[in-house]
Amino acid sequence: MRVVAGEYGGRRIKDVPGKSTRSTTDKVKEATFHRIGPFFDGGTCLDLFAGSGALGIEAISRGMDYTYFIDTHPKAIKVIHKNIQALHIEQYSTVKKMEAKRALDQFKKSNQSFDLILIDPPYHSTIYEDVLHKIDTYGLLKEDGLIYCEHDKQLALDWESTPYKVHHTSTYGTITTTLLSYG
């Protein structure tokens, strides 16, 4: 696995060992970031269910000022730290070992908001609606911010019941990616 583009483009990063997490492929990362960026002029990113941290690292490489990496899996946290250290981007990141909804609660308490929120939970997860509701209710997405959701293509998500507008949906094999914003 590698960082696709930007300051750290081409650099290799580690994946989480085992089958408990599944990384976003380079092809999907490249296509997604070309739609949402392809490069950023600063901003703050939240990588929920971060796994190896590949998506959040890609955001930093493409110009985000700072990324918060959230995951509960101990192996994932260890790999995120290794990847961040290997790229020497510790000053641009915070890693938190905690459940996503609890992290959102903490960000609300600190009045934090984000330019880009990456939501890539384990496939077959049903947490999307709860997470998206909290993001909206807590005001965690900036007015012109974007949300990236990666999910199993078989999972029927009701985007109409959210306050977000769907900008783009793509399917790559068994996964679907959806970009959302406030309009």
Evaluate if residue 22 carries a pLDDT over 70: no
**Model pTM score:** 0.94
Question: In the chain, what are the domains?
Answer: 26-181 (3.40.50.150)
**pLDDT score, position 23:** 67
Evaluate if residue 19 carries a pLDDT over 70: no
Question: Over the stretch 27-58, which tens digit does the pLDDT of each residue have?
Answer: 888 888 888 878 899 999 999 999 999 999 99
Evaluate if residue 75 carries a pLDDT over 90: yes
Residue 87, SS3 per DSSP: helix
Residue 115 to residues 25, 58, 65, 98, 144: CA-CA distances in angstroms? 23, 14, 10, 21, 7
**pLDDT score, position 125:** 78
Helix (H) or strand (E) holding 121: none
Distance CA 103, CA 97 (A): 9
Distance CA 146, CA 119 (A): 11
**pLDDT score, position 20:** 53
Q: Residue 175's CB: how many other CB atoms inside 10 A? A: 18
Which residue type, as a one-letter code, is found at position 118? L
Non-local (6+) Cβ contacts of 6 within 8 A are 39, 58, 60, 61, 62, 63
Question: Over the stretch 95-130, which tens digit does the pLDDT of each residue have?
Answer: 999 999 999 999 999 999 999 999 999 877 778 889
The more confident residue out of 156 and 89 is: 89
